[in-house]
Amino acid sequence: MSLTDITDFAEQLARDAGDLIRREREHNTLRTDYKQQTELVTHADLMADEFITNAIRQRFPDHRILSEESMPDLTQAESLDTPLWIVDPIDGTVNYAYGHPQVAVSIAYAERGRVRAGIVHAPFANETFRAIDGQGATLNGAAISHSQCSVPREALFATGFPYTKDALEPLVRRLNTMIHHCRDLRRIGSAALDICWVACGRLDVYYETVSPWDFAAARLIAIEAGASAGHFSTVPDGYPEDLWGQDILVSTPALFEPVQTLLRQASE
């Protein structure tokens, strides 16, 4: 099966899952719970996760799945023997629970640790970001590219914060540095959309520490839109860079090195 066929399959899955979670919020009573006592999860997260992962298993029984809700085993990212699907059924669950529209279904497909296809679908905005390795990125079928911002002082940046609050000091230092050197901050609440918004020019910089399901698809979309993606700390030897979530940085190419330097200095 070609990458185009695989991406078409992922896009249809994301759209169908988006319809499901939109219906659940609009027509049914929202049911919520917590995992690890801090992170919100809704019944719709679990329904969408089951829908997506079951469809992948049926179509590709030999492939592996790394999914936030049902299969969050991060060691899957280190195994390179068979293709891997990386799934976030609802990126932006808190937004979803509060009725905010910045919600996305994220599905990525990787081979030997390299993300080859990515879909990020925002059901409430009716926006679908799509990328295939080496073939560019689109939003609702139209080609997208980054903002070309080249001066940190003119940059609009986004980041996020963990639900656990016991290690906030370094994050606050970085935020303080970025606020003093950039135009302003936007707190979107969905890492996948943050990165896609860098890809299409709505933001200039994004940085954060997140899990593979939060960023794998969006990172490819940003790269295929001409943005730069990497890290402001060291990626462990042998770990696939496409799936390493610690200290991610995505930005316009001209901003990458100066912002990387700012964040490294703030982390010292």
pLDDT reported for residue 43: 85
Place of tokens 């990125």: 137
pLDDT at 73 over 70: yes
Query: Could you tell me the pTM of the whole model?
Result: 0.95
What percent of the chain is predicted at pLDDT more than 90? 82
50 labelled ligand-binding:
no
Residue 107: both structure tokens together = 């599905």
Question: Dihedral sign, CA of 219, 224, 230, 235?
Answer: positive
C-alpha distances in Å from residue 38, one per residue of 162, 252, 254 = 10, 33, 37
Edge-to-edge strand list for the sheet holding 114-122: 64-67, 84-91, 104-111, 114-122, 127-132, 137-139, 142-143
Summarize pLDDT for 225-240 with one digit per residue, the tens: 999 999 999 999 989 9
Give 174's pLDDT tier (boundaries 50, 70, 90). very high
Residue 106, sorted as left (phi over 0), alpha (psi -120 to 50) or beta, turns out to be beta
Q: Give the bridge partners for 71, in sequence order.
A: 67
Summarize pLDDT for 84-116 with one digit per residue, the tens: 999 999 999 999 989 999 999 999 999 999 999
Strand 104-111 and strand 114-122: the pairing is antiparallel
Summarize pLDDT for 131-165 with one digit per residue, the tens: 999 999 999 999 999 999 999 999 999 999 988 77
pLDDT reported for residue 164: 79
pLDDT at 260 over 90: yes
Domains and CATH numbers, the chain: 3-143 (3.30.540.10), 152-267 (3.40.190.80)
pLDDT reported for residue 70: 78
194 labelled ligand-binding:
no
214 labelled ligand-binding:
yes
88 labelled ligand-binding:
yes
Q: What is the mean pLDDT of the chain?
A: 93
What whole-number distance in Å separates Cα of residue 196 and Cα of residue 250? 10
pLDDT reported for residue 198: 98
